[in-house]
Each structure stands twice: as C-alpha cells, then as structure tokens.
C-alpha cells in the first residue's frame, strides 16, 4: 500500500508541502471521478465482482447436504467438512463470511434453499453499488468547490 502510494506521488515528492498536497488532492479527485464513471454503468445492487462470485458459488451447491434446525440456522455438510450457518447473524463456523463480508459456500448453499434469496441482504454493505456512486463527488461539483478555495 505505501509503495503504491509513493509511486503515485513520486513526481511531487521533492516539491514544497503545499504543492504536494495540491497534487495529491488533484489525483484523488481524478481517481474518484474515474470510479464514478465506471460505477455509473453498474446495473445490479451489488458490485460486479460480487455478482459474479455469487453466480459462481451457487453452481457448486449440489455437493452439500443441509440439515436445517430453524428458519435461519442449519448445519451444512460437505464431503470432508461440516459447518454451522446462522443467516440472521451472517455467520458460518468456517469464518469466511465474517471475514470477507460475502456468504461462504456453506451459507450460500443454505441461502439457496430459502424462499426469497435476496442476495444483497446477505452481503456486506461495502459491496453495494450505492456506496460507489457519489453524486456530490463528481468532477464538476468537486471543481466548483475547489475553485472557491
Ligand atoms: Zn462457511
């Protein structure tokens, strides 16, 4: 992370602090503008790589057996593993769901059996498209704010 940041500001490294800060501000503005343009083409509720992950993970569900105990809890058994899934807590004993914010294979298998598989409700908020589209941070509005300074 620090190496990429240093490469990012290399040309401004020997400049006075004010120029360095201004250059970093401009680069951040450009980066946000580019991200805003890219994210404006996203049509789903989740970012594309998460949509793809969910499509992929749900194709592997036939290798597991589900032993449901309540509406939101189940044991999911694979060939060499067994994990407890709690949909309400967004928790699986394998730990992947808690760490990544995306349902692991065990929880995905269980979610597929529920009546309404609203995947966006099981994915961490950071993977929702609305988090990436900031109308107030478009390049035009940012430039208007910056020009006042
Ligand atoms: Zn799991």
The 10s digit of each residue's pLDDT in 19-77 is 888 888 988 899 888 888 888 888 889 999 999 999 998 888 788 999 999 999 999 99
Rounded distance between C-alpha atoms, residue 79 and residue 134, angstroms: 45
Report pLDDT for 141. Answer: 46
CA of 30 to the centre of ligand 1 (A): 39
pLDDT of residue 148 exceeding 50, the answer is no
Q: Are 95 and 105 in contact (CB under 8 A)?
A: no
Arithmetic mean of pLDDT, 68-87: 95
Q: Using alpha carbons only, give the angle 50, 51, 53 rounded to the nearest 5 degrees.
A: 60
Report pLDDT for 3. Answer: 67
**Beta-strand relationship, 73-77 and 65-68:** antiparallel
Neighbours of ion ligand 1 (CB under 5 A): 83, 92, 94, 104, 106
CA of 47 to the centre of ligand 1 (A): 21
Coil vs helix vs strand at 75: strand
CA of 131 to the centre of ligand 1 (A): 26
Arithmetic mean of pLDDT, 93-113: 94
Q: Which helix (H) or strand (E) holds 124?
A: none
What average pLDDT does the structure give for the chain? 84
Report pLDDT for 96. Answer: 96
State what percent of residues in the chain have pLDDT above 90.
44
| Count of other CB atoms within 10 angstroms of residue 147 | 7
58 Cβ contact list (under 8 Å, min separation 6): 108, 112
Q: Are 85 and 92 in contact (CB under 8 A)?
A: yes
């Amino acid at each position: 992370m620090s190496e990429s940041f240093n490469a990012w500001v290399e040309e401004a490294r020997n400049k006075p602090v004010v120029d360095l800060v201004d250059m970093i501000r401009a680069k951040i503005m450009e980066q946000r503008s580019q991200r805003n343009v890219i994210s404006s083409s996203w049509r789903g509720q989740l970012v594309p790589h998460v949509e793809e992950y969910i499509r992929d993970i749900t194709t592997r569900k036939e290798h597991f057996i589900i032993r449901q105990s309540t509406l939101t809890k189940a044991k999911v058994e694979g060939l060499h593993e067994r994990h407890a899934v709690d949909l309400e807590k967004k928790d699986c004993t394998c730990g992947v769901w808690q760490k990544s914010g995306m349902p692991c294979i065990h929880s995905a298998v269980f979610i597929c059996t529920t009546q309404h598989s609203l995947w966006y409700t099981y994915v961490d908020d950071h993977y929702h498209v609305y988090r990436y589209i900031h109308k107030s941070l478009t390049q035009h509005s940012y430039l208007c704010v910056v020009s006042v300074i």
